[in-house]
Structure 1
């Protein structure tokens, strides 16, 4: 039970970082394509679009990211138990798990739904940005591992 609670407490900041960056990267990728078409987008409109996408993508893309992180970082956590030292190697393993999970999720969405749901991930650059969001989320997970106490003490 304590491992599950600890995992959830580590997963929450990893999700916030991954989803936040993935959503912002998506928004900026789409807006960059519009700017290439000579569409002028003022800063206030860019910020409003970021906020709109952060809220609007949460039920679908956010849920997909949460499921992906649970699987990817759960697997990394299980494998990490067998490492002699949980330092830099564990952090790198979690970061790569987050990035790989994002790539697998994005690649799996297309054949399943026959559409790229995340417009900001249509090109190679967009996919790299989304994977970097997963990388940062995995790194956040590993940092949370270092910051959380090993065992939670009961108040009994």
Structure 2
């Protein structure tokens, strides 16, 4: 029951934020590369591209991120139980490792970077999205645990 009431909602919120940041970073990286070669990209075009990328990446990159984070957080959950005071740092690291592993694995398997926004400095922006996801997950789990203990559920 704890999984459905505390863990799953926390995971879904952190995944949605993580995916949204990863998609945003991807879109802005691509727009920046266009601007670097002289293409004029207006604000409305940036917003439209960002929204279209979010919707377009959701079924594929969103699923990849969900699987990578779920695996990383699952393993980290057991490690965090042993190292009780290190939970936030461990989940931040797990988010970073999840993204690095997924992006490197995809590139190794397919021999191409399918997420254009994960090239160059964009790779590190994607890792930052993973770090934020890990941080949010750890904070939500901790807050839900304290709320449950306080209310006696």
Q: Report the alpha carbon displacement of residue 150 of structure 1 after superposing the two structures with TM.
A: 4.0
Q: In structure 2, the residue corresponding to 1:25 is in which secondary structure? A: helix
Query: How many corresponding residue pairs?
Result: 149
Alignment of 1:33-72 (within 5 A): 33-72=33-72
Q: Report the alpha carbon displacement of residue 44 of structure 1 after superposing the two structures with TM.
A: 0.6
Q: Which runs of 5+ in 1 are unaligned?
A: none
TM-score, normalised to structure 2, is 0.91
Higher helix share: 2
Deviation readout 1:28-62 (Å, 9 max, x if unpaired): 00000000011010001000111001100000000
Q: In structure 2, the residue corresponding to 1:57 is in which secondary structure? A: helix
RMSD value, Cα = 1.5
TM-score, normalised to structure 1, is 0.89
Whether 1:119 aligns to 2:116 is yes
Deviation readout 1:107-151 (Å, 9 max, x if unpaired): 00012122211001122x111000000000000001101221447
- From the superposition, tell whether residues 84 and 130 of structure 1 become closer, same or farther in structure 2 (CA, over 3 Å): closer
- From the superposition, tell whether residues 150 and 75 of structure 1 become closer, same or farther in structure 2 (CA, over 3 Å): farther
Q: Report the alpha carbon displacement of residue 4 of structure 1 after superposing the two structures with TM.
A: 5.3
1:97 to 86, 94, 97: 94
Output the CA distance in 2 between the equivalents of 1:83 and 1:51: 40
Q: In structure 1, the residue corresponding to 2:82 is in which secondary structure? A: coil
User: What's 2:75 paired with?
Assistant: 75
